[in-house]
Structure 1
Amino acid sequence: MKVTALVFLAGFSLILSGCAASGPKRVDGELAFSPESLVTMAESFAQAGDYGNALRLYQRAVSENPEHLGARSGLAKTYQSLGAVDAAIAMYRSILQQDPQNPEAMLGLGQMLVMKNEPEEALEYLKQVSARSPGNYRVYNILGLAYDLLGQHEKAQLTYGKGLAIVPDNISLLNNLGLSFTIQGQYAPGLRLLSKAVTQEPGNMKARENLVMAYVLSGEENQARNMAASFMDEEQLALKMQRYAWLKELESNQRAQAIFLGKTYFPKSGTEHEEAERVTTAMSSPATQEPVDPKKKRLREILAEEGREKSLMQGQATENNTGSVSAAPVAQTNRSPAEDNASSGNLEPDIPAHNKVAEAGNEETDESNPVASKKRGKVYRVQIGSFISEEMARAEWRRLVKNAAATLKEYTPLIRAFSPDGEKQFYRLFVHEIEDRPLAREVCQRLEERKIGCLVIFTER
């Protein structure tokens, strides 16, 4: 890929030098190319993994010809590759408005809707694709997930089976079919399929964790512990066991959403505040989350780069008094808290996952009078997790200090008990000495760089 990218860039440089010699036409200060040329260049960048340049070239092609299907399709796929779910959905919908029977757009939109936990609408598109392309195993994988999220597990299993009839050893289909049986309570076939997936790819950590989870849910906890000992320490397993115990209490469709989409709460009643409270308590401690997804990380980097470029361009335009500068549209990520957490399932491609710095509280009021806010007894703190016991909270602090000594060694833990439902008690873990937002943001960002999830919240002193 790197060689291909270098060859392409060398050729691209020759094109630019040739254009310069003949006095090239420019648009907004950039060389003018046809949408077809821009799409070709964007595809080469995308194949080389340079999504930043691919995104900009696709956006430019769409700007020059909004009806160009190749440019819009490439832009949608780039958004999808970067985990920008909402942007991908919007682009796929626009393609289908122009070309209602476009199979790639229907498949892409169906997958994005599944990722956004909208399986009923996803089925409308996925069924059409499966009818028109019965040999496409990928559509059966995504269609099966949609059925599982709806609690229609028998349909899901038959659908995964159709995919396996085409590609018998596909790790994603094996994994999802095994999880479907496990979610339904059919543990024997579930364990058999998940074991086969692990045998085929021993280094696949997600497959191994899924098998451990299936053993726990089936009641074979000793077998689960024996297997987990090869790749988890005791504290990590203890936190995983909290989540597995929580999964047992869910309805099967909720269990599917928790496993495949990483959902961490299912409010039975109460206000939005109570629902938000559950997001930080329902088995979502940093130790249960996967590392930052590289696709989401790259998307944030691209957005940051575009933000800096836009500021520089605007500043230059103001300084030179040359008029307005147009910036390319920026992709928006899907920021649903439940779906930002890591997936235990295996979509193809995988559901993107990342930790994020999130904030809660009335920031406008708090910032307008920070002194008054502190007098009222409220401060900004970094919350690192919620646990079912104080001992587990302290154990997690010790583990994190080892992993992020440069950030946490000068601080001490603050552990507070709370009961969101008035019955079960949890324990929140905070960084004790931090009480203002700028420092909280800085520390949380440094923790995120170490792949440690955290929240910046406005809470009682």
Structure 2
Amino acid sequence: DDLEEAGFQDQARSLTDRCIADARAAARRAPNDADAHWALAAALKQRHRPSEAIPEYRAAVRLDPNDADLHHEFAEALYDQGLSTQAIAEYQAALRLDPKNSEWHYDLGWELKHSGQMAPAEREMRLAVRLDPANPDAHYGLGEVLAMTHRELPAIAEYQITARTAPNPFDADRRLLDLEDKNGRYDAAIAAGLRVLAAFPSDGNTMDNIADCYLNKKQWQTSLSWSERALRVNPNDPVAHENLGEAYIGEGKKAEARVEWQQVLTLDHGQIAQAARDHLAKYP
């Protein structure tokens, strides 16, 4: 089966390489044909050769500046290369030609968010939601901007819409697990985490977050069981050991807690280790 799959992959690569060669020849024969450059750019992009694709997209856009789809595809290629300023300009060019495209407003908003331009990013995400209220990506993007600008309750509302409507809502559920926990809505957070685990039963980070929710609810034994489950996935998970220590303290088991926090110090050298040191100092 592996050999057969490898054969199919080789055949697909060979076909793509022939497609690139044919497209390159067509672009040479018709240097003023935007479609020829676009076809070559698309073939190169498909073959993961973006540095070669971008000049072809640029030539196509110069020859046909009024094709919204071309500007958008060029923007995606620039985004993939991390060329944020140029990608934003191309998304904007596409939207000048097709201003009611919700998905493209989302794409522009995402790139603006990625480049730290939060106010225009929020404007684009709100436009995306207004143009298509059923677009789960737009609600997710708006939730991201709101969360990053410390408006957590409105962000939760947007993530909840995504979680209800997206075909794959798990990123939104992970965000809900984190934000609902931070805002004291522990049962809602746990419900979001359980939805993630239904799809990804070995997601140790989600188990850690659920354990934290139960710590906040002061349900020490349940928190312990979730941390132990996370450690079965990854025995070197420092967050699970830190959570175990807190749960043991809740149960009055200082010696067991200190063992867990000492273990954290062998596994982490950042914020989690600092929390463990603080706990060790507090409970000598």
Do they superpose with TM above 0.5?
A: yes
Change (3 A) 1:237 1:46: same
d(CA) in 2 for partners of 1:201, 1:184: 24
Gaps (5+ residues) in structure 1? 26-31, 247-461
Aligned pairs, number: 232
Match of residue 213 from structure 2: 180
Match in the other structure for 2:3: none
Deviation at 1:38, TM superposition (A): 1.5
The structure 1 residue matched to 2:277, chosen from 235, 241, 255, is 241
In the TM superposition, what are the counterparts of 1:172-321 in structure 2 within 5 Å? Answer: 172-197=205-230, 200=233, 207-208=237-238, 210-218=239-247, 219=249, 220-232=257-269, 237=273, 241-242=277-278
Given that residues 187 and 214 in structure 1 are in contact (C-alpha distance below 8 angstroms), is that contact kept between their aligned partners in structure 2? no
Q: Which residue type is aligned with residue 228 of structure 1? A: L
CA distance in 1, matches of 2:94, 2:229: 45
| 3-state SS, counterpart of residue 92 of structure 1 | helix
Q: Distance in 2 between matches of 1:49 and 1:197?
A: 35
Alignment deviations for residues 349-389 of structure 1 (CA, whole Å, 9 cap, x no partner): xxxxxxxxxxxxxxxxxxxxxxxxxxxxxxxxxxxxxxxxx
- Say whether the 8 Å CA contact 1:123–1:143 is kept in structure 2: yes
Aligned twin of 1:7 = 49
CA distance 1:87–1:212, shift in 2 (3 Å): farther
Tell me: CA distance 1:6–1:132, structure 2 relative to 1, closer, same or farther (3 Å).
Answer: closer
Contact 2:95/2:104 (8 A) holds in 1: yes
Give the match for residue 105 of structure 2.
Answer: 72
Q: How much has 1:36 moved relative to structure 2?
A: 1.4
Letter in 1 for 2:55: S
- Pairing 1:46–2:46 present: no
CA contact (8 A) 1:5 1:45 kept: no
Flag the 1:65–1:123 CA change in 2: closer, same or farther, 3 A.
same
Q: Distance in 1 between matches of 2:167 and 2:60?
A: 48
In 1: Cα distance, 2:85 partner to 2:47 partner: 14
CA offset at residue 177 of structure 1? Answer: 1.6
Give the number of the structure with larger relative contact order, counting CA–CA contacts within 8 Å between residues 6 or more apart. Answer: 1
Shift of 1:132: 3.0
Scaled by the length of structure 1, the TM-score of the pair is 0.42
Give the aligned residue type for 2:76.
E
1:107, 1:139 within 8 Å by CA — same for their partners in 2? yes
Local SS of the residue matching 2:100:
coil
Q: CA deviation at 1:91?
A: 1.9
Determine if contact 1:76/1:91 at 8 Å carries over to the other structure: yes
Change beyond 3 A, Cα 1:240–1:153: same
* Identity fraction in percent: 16
Distance 1:84 1:175 in 2: 32
Paired with 2:110 and 2:277, the residues of 1 have a C-alpha distance of 37
Amino acid at match of 1:223: E
Shift of 1:153: 0.7
Alpha-carbon deviation of 1:140?
2.3
Q: 1:178 to 1:19 in 2, by over 3 A?
A: closer
* RMSD of equivalent CA atoms: 3.9
Larger strand fraction of residues: 1
Aligned partners of 1:239 and 1:149: how far apart in 2?
17
Could you say which structure has the higher helix fraction?
2
The runs of 5 or more residues in structure 2 that have no matched partner are 1-43, 250-256
Instruction: Report matched runs for 1:308-347 at 5 Å.
Output: none
- Counterpart Cα distance in 2 of 1:71 and 1:134: 19
SS at match of 1:168: coil
- In the alignment, the residues of structure 2 paired with residue 122 and residue 236 of structure 1 have an alpha-carbon distance, to the nearest angstrom, of 26
Q: CA, structure 1 residues 72+166, in 2 after alignment: closer, same or farther (shift >3 Å)? A: same
Q: Specify which of 151, 157, 160 is matched with residue 127 of structure 1.
A: 160
Change in CA separation of 1:151 and 1:46 when aligned onto 2, cut-off 3 Å: same
CA distance in 2, matches of 1:188, 1:103: 37
- What's the secondary structure of 1:229's corresponding residue? helix
**Structure 1 residues 216, 175: closer, same or farther in 2, change over 3 A?**
closer
Give the superposition deviation at 1:74: 0.9
